[in-house]
Amino acid sequence: MSPWGAETASAGGGATSDHEHLEAGAPGAETEPDARYTLANERTFLAWNRTALALVVAGLGIVQLLPPFPGVPWGRHVLGVPLIAFGAVVGVAAYGELRRNQTAMRRGQPLPRSLLPRVLAGVITGVAVLAAVVLLVSAVR
> In this predicted model, what pLDDT tens digit does every residue of 15-61 receive, in sequence order?
444 444 445 556 667 899 899 999 999 999 999 999 999 999 999 99
- Span 120-137, mean pLDDT? 96
Query: Given this model, what pLDDT does residue 70 score?
Result: 93
Give domain status of residue 104, yes or no: yes
Q: How many domains does the chain have?
A: 1
H-only helix segments in the chain: 35-65, 75-107, 116-140
Give domain status of residue 9, yes or no: no
Give the Cα separation of 98 and 110 in Å (integer).
Answer: 14
Q: How far is CA 31 from CA 14, 26, 64, 102, in A?
A: 7, 11, 49, 11
Give the Cα separation of 101 and 15 in Å (integer).
Answer: 17
Domain that holds residue 126: 35-140
Whether residue 72 contacts residue 137, with contact meaning beta carbons closer than 8 Å, is answered with yes
